[in-house]
Structures are given as structure tokens and as C-alpha cells.
Structure 1
Amino acid sequence: MKEQILKTVHERPLTPSLNIRGGEIKHKIYFSINGEGYGHSSRALAIAKQLHPEEVLLGSYGYSLKRLESTGLPTIEITPEVSFVGKDGSFDIGLTILKNSSWPVAINQIINEERKIIQNYGITCVVSDSRTAPIFAASKLGLPCILLTNQTTFAPFFDVEINDLEDSLIEKSFKDWLRTGTKAVLTNAAEPFVLKVVQDWLKAADEIFIPELPPPNSICLPLLCNENFVKKKQRFIGPLLPWSWKSIVQNHDKNFLPPEYHGFKKKIVCTLGGHRYRKPLFDTVLLLAKIMPDVLFIILSDFKSDLNLPNLYKVGFVNNPAEFYLNADLVITQAGHSTAMELITLGLPMLVIPDCGQVEQESNARRLCELGIASRLSYKDLKTDTMYSMVQYMLNEPSFLNHVNNLSKLAKNYMAEKEAVRIIRDYSTRIQAY
């Protein structure tokens, strides 16, 4: 009897038996994507395209949703979390807070919406690009959730509103000052609540992907939280690009442009999108083309003009501007993070004109200049002669190209999409392993 007991104990595993399902593990990754701008959908798609279509569900809204639908991957429409408000090209946090005064109630409804999506589709890992609701929903369900963002602190947004109030004491009428002051008071009152939500959001995420080069070469460095509870979760995975730089470079056709433009030795690409408040920049570039006939200006924008010049190529909006970038010596653009990472990877200097009052773009612009790969021009200083001087200097100063080529070499060492997929699948596997 004693021998039988000992034999039974000996044969029993030292740890509980795991029902490893192996081949039965099925990944279902849900990407909940901020629909403001193209950058969020670009970097989410960079990861999603590395997965099998059956493993993917893409959620967004507006024109970003249409872009996602065009890929043929499974999509679902979701509710925007915040309605952003701007005036004369400037993001206005005060007006945004006023317009979203019912946000505490609305966000709970959106969290429930996200929770139902996660449950109905059998999601095994959630990737949120700059959205709070999917992180809270996944956390409540005990599912792995990864935040994809280039910003983990939002205090600078509130600093701008107070600075506007100080400026208005001198520059604005009493009526405008009163309006600005009222918004500043409301913004100041909302700040603790907003920052508390952000803190809870960051705590709920299992991991934070920063689609960037690591410090000290990070563009978004001033916009990253300095708290250890956030820093320990952050992973600098490198640039997430909507295309393979190797494929783009290897297949690049030097005669990509129409024949009539082949003779130009210097080429400038100007990418503007179609926001109406960027029209002054569009008009200034047209005037610049008039006084620089030896330089080809390639305009990627929805803006229209009757002006026709031999050195002006108006392309319109394009989904993939990489081929145009490769034909450029300089790119005139806003200081959007995703565009900056694309241009750094391709090794192109930039003249950046950040949207007025857009804190993230203005921070990015400063960092790009600090790294020696860009010059910055504000809308207040947007004059043809000023831009002419800056463009001439950048086209003839080799230091910009040298600095950006150094960063380009670093960026090309990363395989951000594959690293992201490896981590996502690992999280997804953990909850299915037994």
C-alpha cells in the first residue's frame, strides 16, 4: 500500500497540468483607432497588415474609417470620443471642453460600446491608438490592452490656454479678453479631471508602444510623461510606416514624375492636406514658385488654383506620398508626428509650419529643429520673402541632410511592425494557453 502511494505521488506532476491548446489558439486583434488625421490610421495599418486578415478587426470613424475599409480588412464603425474645436486654424482646448461638457456621461456609453465589440467578436488583445474607451473596456474584461501613442502627458495643452489669456491682456479687445478669460477659467477647472482620466488610462494599459526612435533622438520626447509608472510601460519600437521603406527605395523609379518635370535639379514637395486654415500656406508656396523658376514645386493638396507654371506640379491629395518624397530635396509640411517619422526614415530635411495653437505640432517642430533636420516657420511670419530665404538656405546647407541621414540610418535598423506583432501575439497567446 505504501509503495503504491509513493508510486502515485512520483507520477503526479509537480505543477498543475496545463491544457495547452497549441494549434487551437486563434488571435483576434482589435485596433480601436482615433479618426482625427491620417497618422493614427497609418501606423495602426502598418501593424494590422502584418497579421492575417482573419486575425484583425479595425475600428474607426469618418474619413479614417473609409481609408481602413479600402484595405479590404474587416472594419467596424465606432463613436468618436471627443469633438475637437478650432478657430482660424488653431486647436482651442477651451471651446473643446465646452462642446464636450457631457463627456463624463458619453464616455461611459462609448466604453460599453467598446466592451460589446470586444465580447461579440471574441477579441483576444486590444490595441488602442490614442483612444481611452477601448483601454478601459479591455481592462474591465481582464483582456490585454496596448496603447499606441506618441503622447503620454497632456499638461502642455492647458498651459497654452493660460498663455492665451496673458497675451489677450494686451492684444485683444475687452470682449475678446472676457471670452478668452471665461474659457481659461473653465479650462483650469477641467484640468484636474482631464489629467486624472489620463492617469487612469495610462495605468490601465498593459503596455505603451511609442512609434519612435528612443531618447535622445525622440521627436515626441517633451510630450512623454516623466512618471515611472508610465515610463516602465513605454516601449520605443521605432517608426511605424504605412509602407516598407526597403520596397519603396528598391522599386523607386527616378522617372516617376511626368517627363516635363525631369529637367529640374532641385525639387520641393509641399504636403498640406485640405484644411481650409492652411490656405495661406498654399498661396505663399504658389508665390514662391513664381520667384524660384529653377525649382520644381510638387503640391500634394486638395486646394485649387488657376495658376499654371512650368515649375508647378499640382498633384492633389494622394494616399501614399512616399514616391513623391523620394523625388524631393526638401519637404514643406506641418509638424505631424507620422509624417515626420516617414521623412526621417527616407532621409529628407523639412521646413515645418505647425498649425497655429496645435501644441503637439509646435512641440514636434521645436524638436525637429533641435535635432538639426528642419527649420521652422510660423503662420505669423508666413511671408514670401521669409520663406524664400529659408528655402534657399536649406537647399544649400548640407548640415540638414547630414543630420537627417544619420537619423535615417537609425530608423532603418528597426522592424517596428514585426516587433509590435510579436508582442501583441504574445499577449494574445497568454490568455489562451490554458
Structure 2
Amino acid sequence: MTNQKTILVCPLDWGLGHATRCIPIIQSFLKDNHKVIIGTSGKQEALLKQEFPYVTFIELKGYNVEYPENGAMISKMLTQLPKIKKAIQEEQEWLAAIIDKYKIDQVVSDNRYGLWNNKIESTLITHQLFIKAPTGEWLIEKILNNYLANFDEVWIPDIEGENNLSGDLAHKKPLPHNYKFIGPLSRFSSLKKACDFSEEYDFIAIVSGPEPQRTIFEKLILEQVRDTNLKGVLVRGLPDSNEKLKIENSAIQIYNHLETNEFLNYLQKSKVVISRSGYSTIMDLATLGKKAILVPTPGQTEQEYLAQYHQEKGQFYTQKQSEFDLEKAVKEVKNYSGFVM
């Protein structure tokens, strides 16, 4: 095939969402008979190896960003800026060193700003073009735009127009000609969705993201479900873990990770989804038409904005983590429609 390319796909390591939303991109490349190489490590590598066991993987170190326990995200991120800047420089050097060895024609990076090179076609996937921050938004956007200018194309996983998923994050101002809306990316898009399933679970809780907030959220859900009669499923977002967690006197099934088809099965059989308000999760919710209770990671302004944005539109119900009330949320979410594509 004369148009066959070797394409390197590299998701960011902040939670699993950047990896899961690369699944339909990789599937599309493989369907078109391109050779795909995946650059990643850790939990993201474990997840993607389950989806693509025959694809070549190259180790690419993550940014290893840490989240605070108390929600003071800005100060925590400021202290890690030198580490992030160094990681961006190192990934650019990493890419330059492997282009010829693996005969790479194109790199598709999900929110990794150092993965571009003038020798090959360089594409960035991101929904966050305009920043939400307590202060200094203009400065952060200026730095961000300097990184984005290095890429041949920027792919925005959203719908162009008013009925969109990302709000001001991608629709605040007119965009350059090489920025393209490609529609929501969800690993569930291509799967056959059952029409005759019964919603036997009151909820499915999806817990993921950087520590320690992942564990804090997990404990909060498990502590509250003990005192209810709710029947639920908890997915811990730990694809590389063999630890078995069981809660006594509770009608909840707990899984470290679920393969995509099994995950879809539980999602369809659950009345409501409890999750962070990460953008990849919101794309999955929109694709499946599910009702959701969104609990933003404390201090993560993007998630806080997205949760509030969709609540104001009457689509998803949201609670702060510090005010999380499982039984109240399960009742209140009935007043929200979910996102209608």
C-alpha cells in the first residue's frame, strides 16, 4: 500500500482518559492499514496493551505529576513546573532519537507538547485551548500557544457549534485554520450497544486520576455505600494492579479494571455514572447517553468548570468532593437529562 504510514501515538499520563480516548484514533489508523507504534508507560501502557496486544510499544516516561491532598492545586502545580518543562524537553529529544530507527512518518500526541519534529507530520490532540485558572490565564495561554504553534495540526475532540462538550475551553474565540474539530473521541463509539439491557445497578462509580486524590475519592464512595441499600459497581482505574478489594456488608462489586466490552456492559446496566468530570469521561457519557454525577478533582479548575458548565445546561449533576453525599446525589441526578448528541 503506497500511502501506508508509520504513526506514533503518545497519550499524556495524567489519569487514564488520555489513553482511552486514543483508542478510537489507533483503531482508525489500523483500519486504514497504517502501522501504529504506541509511546507510553505505567497504567496507560497496561491499559493500551490490553486493547492492542499486537502493536509495538516504546517506553515513554510520563510527567508523573502529583496532586495535593487538600485541593491547593495551583501552588502544587507551580512547584512542579520545572519538572514538567524538563519532561517536555526530554520527550522532544526522545522523539528525535527514534524517528529514523522506527521510520516514523507522523506523530500524534495527546496533550504532550514536546512531541513535534520538523522532519515528520506532527499532530496534537487537545480540547483545552483556553485555560481556566484562578489567576494568570493570559500568561498560561501565551505559553500554551507557543507550544501549539509547533504542530502542523491541532485536533479538537469536540463538536463545532453551540451544542458542544467543552464550552469555553475550545469555543471561546475563533481558531487558526489548522485547528480541526474531529468530534468526540470515545472507545465505546464503535461498539455495539445493547438495546434490551435492564438497569440492575443503582450506580457505577469510576475512580481514576493521579494520586492521592484517586484513593481519597475511592474511600469516600466506599465509606458512604456501606450505609445504604444501593447496589453498585466500582471501577478503580488500576489496570496494572492485582490487589483485591472487598467491602463487607455492601452490595457493591469492585474491579481494578474492566476490559472495554465488559466495561460497556456494566455501564449500560447502571442507572447512573459517578465519576470525575475529566473531559474524556464526559465524551464517554455523551456517546452512551448516560446520566451522571460529576465530582471534580478538588482544585482542578478545568474539571470544576466542565462540571458546572454541564450542570447549568441541565445535563449532569455535580457535587464538590468535600460535600459528596451519595444518597442525595442518586436522587438529584434524576432531574438531569444527560448530554443529547
TM range (shorter): 0.7 to 0.9
1:277 aligns with 2:218: no
- Once residues 76 and 266 of structure 1 are traced to their aligned partners in structure 2, the CA distance between those partners, rounded to angstroms, is 39
Q: Which runs of 5+ in 1 are unaligned?
A: 1-22, 163-187, 256-263, 411-434
1:96 aligns with 2:77: yes
CA contact (8 A) 1:298 1:314 kept: yes
Corresponding position of 2:233: 298
CA contact (8 A) 1:369 1:375 kept: yes
Superposed counterparts of 1:237-252, under 5 Å? 237-249=182-194
Report the TM-score, using the length of structure 2 for normalisation: 0.83
Q: Check 1:24–1:33 CA distance in 2 against 1; reply closer, same or farther (3 A cut).
A: same
1:201 aligns with 2:147: yes
**Bigger proportion of residues as helix:** 1
What per-residue deviation string (whole Å, max 9, x for no partner) do you get for residues 129-169 of structure 1?
A: 1011113x2xx32x322211111123x23x2xx5xxxxxxx
The Cα of 1:89 is off from its aligned counterpart by 5.8
The structure having more radius of gyration, on CA atoms, is 1
CA contact (8 A) 2:13 2:64 kept: no
Corresponding position of 2:269: 327
Q: Could you tell me which of 300, 306, 314 is aligned with 2:254? A: 314
Q: Which runs of 5+ in 2 are unaligned?
A: 239-243
User: Tell me, what secondary structure is at the counterpart of 2:164?
Assistant: coil
Q: Check 1:330–1:151 CA distance in 2 against 1; reply closer, same or farther (3 A cut).
A: same
CA contact (8 A) 1:89 1:277 kept: no
Corresponding position of 1:221: 167
Report the TM-score, using the length of structure 1 for normalisation: 0.67
What per-residue deviation string (whole Å, max 9, x for no partner) do you get for residues 200-239 of structure 1?
A: 22222222222223332222122227454x3433322222
Q: Could you tell me which of 122, 142, 161 is aligned with 1:145? A: 122
The Cα of 1:298 is off from its aligned counterpart by 1.8
- Once residues 323 and 89 of structure 1 are traced to their aligned partners in structure 2, the CA distance between those partners, rounded to angstroms, is 35
User: Tell me, what secondary structure is at the counterpart of 1:147?
Assistant: strand
Superposed counterparts of 1:170-181, under 5 Å? none
Q: Could you tell me which of 20, 24, 31 is aligned with 2:9? A: 31
Corresponding position of 1:46: 24
CA contact (8 A) 2:293 2:318 kept: yes
Paired residues, number: 328
Corresponding position of 2:241: none
CA contact (8 A) 1:210 1:236 kept: yes
Give aligned-pair identity as a percent: 20
The Cα of 1:312 is off from its aligned counterpart by 2.7
The Cα of 1:65 is off from its aligned counterpart by 2.0
Q: Check 1:394–1:89 CA distance in 2 against 1; reply closer, same or farther (3 A cut).
A: same
Corresponding position of 2:299: 357
Matched to 1:45, the amino acid is: I
CA contact (8 A) 1:220 1:363 kept: no
User: Tell me, what secondary structure is at the counterpart of 2:233?
Assistant: strand
Matched to 1:123, the amino acid is: I
Question: How well do the aligned residues superpose, as a CA RMSD in angstroms?
Answer: 3.0
CA contact (8 A) 1:30 1:123 kept: yes
